[in-house]
Structure 1
Amino acid sequence: MTADLPSPVRLRQATMSLITLLGGVSLAVIPAATVSISSRLFSRPEQGIIAVAVMVATFAGQLTFAVVLESRLSSAATERRVVFPLWLAGLALLAALVIAVNPTNPVVLCVGLPLLIAALEVGRGVSVAERLDVREIWASVAVGLGALGGVAAAFAGQQWALIPLVAGIAGATIVRCLPVSHRASRPDPAVMGWVVADTAITGVIYPLLNTMILALLGPGDAVLFTAIATVSGLLAIPLNFMRLRLLKAHSRLDIAVSGGAVLAAVVVLVVLERTGALGLIFGGVWTNSAVLLPLVLACGWRAASLATTIPFATLRRMGEARLLTGLRAAVSLMAFALAAIGLALHDLSAVFLGLLVAELISAVVYELARRHRVRVAERLAVAAQ
């Protein structure tokens, strides 16, 4: 598709894609900034609960994303247009206000996080899918500056450190809900049902796993699991970007840009770990643990999604929502079982190794399913002639 465009246009698209992709760092830093700030504001037991709340909020964001965006992008019979819903923007702004008024209350933070993360997920997803690149740049800057200000305030021992964080999210939400010229497509109800079920089955694994870590290994390991998963989530930025673009149309350019960004992200994380920057951000829970091996395994788990995303997006575009739900349920159960084995060994490295192995197997499963559906479609096309 992009290969048919003139070289200057392709270069401009690649540049804007790269800038928008880099803006995804703002989405990844919010969970990390939340964990970092809470490590300096709250007690260790409260930190453990907040670490689980971050995972639950991420799950809530994924479910909202599935309802608002992915169900529409997967409805092949429609124009597949998406917008940022005003109801979600309003709820996020209200949550930001309540947290800003009660910045030292961990319960308020845990309740408000799902709304804030959902608004970030959906708002960025709309910008990426509809190529609202300039808007997304300003929104990303607002989130990034808010997170930076919050972490800096926490380092200085200020009790109001969460206020800049939620203010940045509020600013980005206002930018992302500005009017657009198109209207959202109406999703196919059947497709929406399968997509939401798919997302629920897949996403519930990680908050459930971290709840088990909190119960069995204690708040320290729960915080560390969230911190490592959040840091390795830097790799998920280009992967989610690629997934959104491929849900609209296949693009070798976006695959190449995303693949290069994944490799660059791995290098950045290794450098940050070796220089002690991550220990500075996350404090004692990071510096008092051997984190290099679990971090490398977590990066491998995230990077393996590169091979999974391409056949997955192809099956989505083909309208195979029901098939994908079945496949995702099977591989999610496998991932949970393998990670649970690592948990039984009381070893976070084994947990991430289980997730990595499951992701590699998933890539093979999705590719085999894609090839099968392509062969069936070709046979039907020949029979129809």
Structure 2
Amino acid sequence: MTADLPSPLRLRRATLSLITLLGGVSLAVIPAATVAISSRLFSRPEQGIIAVAVMVATFAGQLTFAVVLESRLSSAATERRVVFPLWLAGLALVAAGVIALNARNPIVLCLGLPLLIAALEVGRGVSVAERLDLREIWASVTVGLGALTGVLAAFTGQDWALIPLVAGIALATLVRCLPVTHRASRPEPAVMGWVVADTAITGVIYPLLNTMILTLIGPGEAVLFTAIATVSGLLAIPLNFMRLRLLKEHSRLDIAVSAGAVLAAVVVLVVLERTGVLGFIFGGVWTSSAAILPLVLACGWRAASLATTIPFAALRRMGEVRLLTGLRAAVSVMAFALAGVGLALHSLSAVFLGLLIAELASAVVYELARRRRVRAAALVVAAAA
């Protein structure tokens, strides 16, 4: 446990945790940078398709993450070790090369994005879970520089703006697939099945919602939904970091660091919106709509995951994958229904409000389930004594 470490080592670990957490910005900026670059390179209908593709790619990344990482971290009977698979690295490098050679083709971009996002999700997840902090710092820097260069090139009207973006991802992939001294644990098949089902049920909501927004409201609102979801994804960085660490072991230090980072991220996003930076990055899609209210609601939705993640990770450590899948399915249906009401009203604010209410409800559901599980375990121990 972190509390058992000597003070200097605990401070060093906290510092590296904070730096690694901040490096997660590089993962969050890729969808946002893709949308920003697309707004300068492609027509509005093409932007709408790319916006949906970004959501689909994020979903594909979550599924790959569930198969490669989360299934192993949830297999309580194993050592729960993970590595970055070379097959995924190879596919991501090929996708980066094809996109670089066809930088003005939106279809190629849409097809390659799932592989790139999956490599980013898994690569970063392995580094965080196995505490490969120094490696992750270098990988995050290359991704961030590539995204920044691509966005700046797009702002100046360069048609090759996607090339530095995918080049940064390719370099980070090479760094993250360097050899390690341990082998990946073999996940328990039953656990993997439940974890993947859990992720699929939960993650499919957002690309489905954005597809419906594209169809019913139009490409402009679909792009704005993706832009707000990806920008508010800045808050998901510390939350995902905390979930990975808590899946290994409970740590008050990591919870405190993550909570502080969530609060700081909310402040940063509000400042960026009020000063016009986000409008400058995303262009007319952002400035032509009142984005501040849906952005605040989206931040509330993301921040509410802080209360959800702690009991969720505790249940995963207990091996309650079947229970969690059932709970997540019920919560997902509720989230989709509430967001659907907002969609019927043609209001992005109402969509994000529905997602926020569902997240708060899920936190209560998971905590009640955790307490019930703890009480049941205590009764078993008492009966055995």
In structure 1, give the amino acid aligned to 2:377: A
- Distance in 1, matches of 2:384 and 2:139, equals 49
**Aligned: 1:39 with 2:36:** no
**2:382 match:** 382
Offset of residue 242 of structure 1:
0.1
Once the two structures are overlaid, the 10-residue window that deviates more, 375-384 or 158-167, is 375-384
- Distance in 1, matches of 2:180 and 2:4, equals 27
**2:155 match:** 155
**2:69 match:** 69
In structure 1, give the amino acid aligned to 2:223: V
In structure 2, give the amino acid aligned to 1:65: F
**1:275 match:** 275
Offset of residue 382 of structure 1:
1.2
Offset of residue 175 of structure 1:
0.1
In structure 2, give the amino acid aligned to 1:90: G
- Distance in 2, matches of 1:216 and 1:349, equals 16
**2:342 match:** 342
Q: Deviations over 1:190-235 (max 9, x none)?
A: 0000000000000000000000000000000000000000000000
**1:258 match:** 258
SS of the aligned residue for 2:81 comes to coil
**1:127 match:** 127
Offset of residue 381 of structure 1:
1.1
In structure 2, give the amino acid aligned to 1:40: R
Structure 1 gap segments, 5+ residues each: none
Q: Deviations over 1:21-49 (max 9, x none)?
A: 00000000000000000000000000000
- Distance in 1, matches of 2:152 and 2:350, equals 34
In structure 2, give the amino acid aligned to 1:294: P
Q: Deviations over 1:232-256 (max 9, x none)?
A: 0000000000000000000000000
SS of the aligned residue for 2:253 comes to helix
Q: Superposed, which structure 2 residues align to 1:320-331 within 5 Å?
A: 320-331=320-331
In structure 1, give the amino acid aligned to 2:10: R
**2:228 match:** 228
Offset of residue 6 of structure 1:
1.0
**1:190 match:** 190
Offset of residue 336 of structure 1:
0.2
- Distance in 2, matches of 1:30 and 1:46, equals 18
Q: Superposed, which structure 2 residues align to 1:277-296 within 5 Å?
A: 277-296=277-296
- Distance in 2, matches of 1:169 and 1:383, equals 54
- Distance in 2, matches of 1:104 and 1:330, equals 42
**1:59 match:** 59
- Distance in 1, matches of 2:302 and 2:236, equals 6
SS of the aligned residue for 2:34 comes to helix
**1:218 match:** 218
**2:111 match:** 111
Using the aligned pairs only, state the percent identity: 88
In structure 1, give the amino acid aligned to 2:59: F
- Distance in 2, matches of 1:180 and 1:362, equals 37
Q: CA RMSD for the aligned pairs?
A: 0.3
Once the two structures are overlaid, the 10-residue window that deviates more, 333-342 or 3-12, is 3-12
Structure 2 gap segments, 5+ residues each: none
- Distance in 2, matches of 1:380 and 1:88, equals 43
Q: Deviations over 1:130-152 (max 9, x none)?
A: 00000000000000000000001
Q: Superposed, which structure 2 residues align to 1:329-368 within 5 Å?
A: 329-368=329-368
In structure 1, give the amino acid aligned to 2:292: L
- Distance in 2, matches of 1:171 and 1:279, equals 30
Once the two structures are overlaid, the 10-residue window that deviates more, 375-384 or 89-98, is 375-384
Q: Deviations over 1:250-289 (max 9, x none)?
A: 0000000000000000000000001000001000000111
- Distance in 2, matches of 1:135 and 1:304, equals 30
In structure 2, give the amino acid aligned to 1:127: S
Q: Taking structure 1 as the reference length, what is the TM-score of the superposition? A: 1.00
In structure 2, give the amino acid aligned to 1:314: A
Q: Deviations over 1:144-165 (max 9, x none)?
A: 0000000011001011000000
Q: Superposed, which structure 2 residues align to 1:18-33 within 5 Å?
A: 18-33=18-33
Offset of residue 356 of structure 1:
0.2
Offset of residue 5 of structure 1:
1.0
Number of aligned positions between the proteins: 385
- Distance in 1, matches of 2:11 and 2:238, equals 18
Q: Deviations over 1:298-332 (max 9, x none)?
A: 00000000000000000000000000000000000
In structure 1, give the amino acid aligned to 2:337: A
SS of the aligned residue for 1:304 comes to helix
Q: Superposed, which structure 2 residues align to 1:72-91 within 5 Å?
A: 72-91=72-91
Q: Taking structure 2 as the reference length, what is the TM-score of the superposition? A: 1.00
In structure 2, give the amino acid aligned to 1:195: V
In structure 2, give the amino acid aligned to 1:151: V
- Distance in 1, matches of 2:32 and 2:89, equals 22
- Distance in 1, matches of 2:286 and 2:358, equals 26
- Distance in 2, matches of 1:381 and 1:126, equals 35
- Distance in 2, matches of 1:84 and 1:148, equals 25
**1:2 match:** 2
